[in-house]
Amino acid sequence: MASQKPLLSRAVKLAAAYALALVATAFFAFPVFWMAGSSVKSELDISQYPPVWSFTPTFENYAKLASELDAFDAFVNSAVIVGLATTLAMVCGTMAAYALARFDVKGKEIIAFEVLSIRMLPPIVSVIPMFIIARALGIFDTYWLLAAAYGLAGLPFVVWVMRVFIQDIPQSIEEAAMIDGCSRFQTFWRVTLPLLLPGLAATMVIVFMFAWNEFLLASMLTSQNAKTLPVIAANAIKPKAIAWGLASAAGVVMSLPVVVLVLMMQRYLVRGLTLGAVKG
């Protein structure tokens, strides 16, 4: 008898916890669900009010996205630009972070602060000068321009976050490796890097998402050849009306790579987002 009551109350608590989790999930998932739903509705179904819940799915929005808005080219542009930018930011940023975390660099606090200062400038302020410089250099509307811009924008974030992850790895582990026969580089490659994977994954996802969704620079610094997905998605908003179905389809296409990336990185992300994962 005595043991049943706590058991019961524990069951109630558990049920409540699940219910709450469900509500929270629904709250955040609903817009996504709605977007995915709208993307497969016909133009007629989408304009219904109150909304219809049962309809015949159609892929006409996706077809339009490809034909009218050149979504395929934009997708390739986005992938190349963001891929380049993320790689650039991750490689350079991690190496800089390693130096700032581990070496006796003179004035490294100042360097770290200076790196961050790029981010203190609001993008809207720098976009006009960037436009002029890009024109002068002849790189306006190319992959290189946006890749460099996104890479540079991601760099400070990578430096600051990765520095903390690196500092979190006990120095004696690296020293043990050097005594065990590794050079500095081997130590980094064989010992430090594997321990950094969770941090790298978490950081990469964030840098990637920022660049993938960036609109302001992309719309100002491209015209034909290097248009990215956010730019063409914005084209779904026509002067007269918003093409909801088209916009939703664009949203789905844009979200997919992020979802895939997060799923791929999930194993590391959970640990990476909680700092200090390598202790113990």
Partner 1 sequence: MGIEIKNIYKRFGSLTVVNGVSVDIADGEFFVMLGPSGCGKTTTLRMVAGLETASEGQIFINGRDMTHAEPRHRDIAMAFQDYGLYPNMTVFQNIEFPLKIRKLAPAERRRKVEETAGRLGISDYLGRKPAQMSGGQRQRVSLARALVRNPKVFLMDEPLSNLDAKLRAVMRTEIKKLVTDLGITTIYVTHDQIEAMSMADRIAVMRKGDMVQVAPPLQVYDRPATCFVADFIGSPPMNLFKAELANNGRVVCQVQGFGDALDDAERERARAMADRHGHFAVGIRPEHLQCVAAGTPGSVEGIVELVEPLGQTTNIYLLSGDTKYVVVTDRTSLRAGDTIGVIAPGDKVRAVGLDR
* Residues that bind partner 1 in the complex, under the rule CB under 8 A: 170, 172-173, 175-183, 186, 190-191, 194-195, 278-280
For 27, other C-beta atoms within 10 Å of its C-beta total 9
Euclidean distance between CA atoms 178 and 244, whole angstroms: 59
Q: To the nearest whole angstrom, how small is the minimum distance from the Cβ of residue 278 to partner 1?
A: 6
Q: To the nearest whole angstrom, how small is the minimum distance from the Cβ of residue 180 to partner 1?
A: 4
Q: Residue holding tokens 């390598």?
A: 278
**Measured between alpha carbons, how far is residue 45 from residues 50, 79, 198 in Å?**
10, 32, 44
- Which CB, 177 or 236, lies closer to partner 1? 177
Q: To the nearest whole angstrom, how small is the minimum distance from the Cβ of residue 184 to partner 1?
A: 8
Helix, strand, coil share of the chain (percent; to 5): 80, 0, 20
Euclidean distance between CA atoms 100 and 121, whole angstroms: 23
**Contacts by residues 228-234 (CB-CB < 8 Å, ≥ 24 positions apart):** 228/74, 228/77, 228/78, 228/81, 228/82, 228/146, 229/71, 229/74, 229/75, 229/77, 229/78, 229/253, 229/254, 230/254, 231/74, 232/69, 232/70, 232/71, 232/74
Q: To the nearest whole angstrom, how small is the minimum distance from the Cβ of residue 197 to partner 1?
A: 9
- Which CB, 100 or 278, lies closer to partner 1? 278
Residues 6+ away with beta carbon under 8 Å from 219: 230, 231, 234
Q: To the nearest whole angstrom, how small is the minimum distance from the Cβ of residue 186 to partner 1?
A: 7
- Which CB, 243 or 278, lies closer to partner 1? 278
- Which CB, 129 or 194, lies closer to partner 1? 194
- Which CB, 114 or 175, lies closer to partner 1? 175
Q: To the nearest whole angstrom, how small is the minimum distance from the Cβ of residue 57 to partner 1?
A: 46
- Which CB, 198 or 251, lies closer to partner 1? 198
- Which CB, 179 or 256, lies closer to partner 1? 179
Q: To the nearest whole angstrom, how small is the minimum distance from the Cβ of residue 122 to partner 1?
A: 40
Euclidean distance between CA atoms 260 and 78, whole angstroms: 15
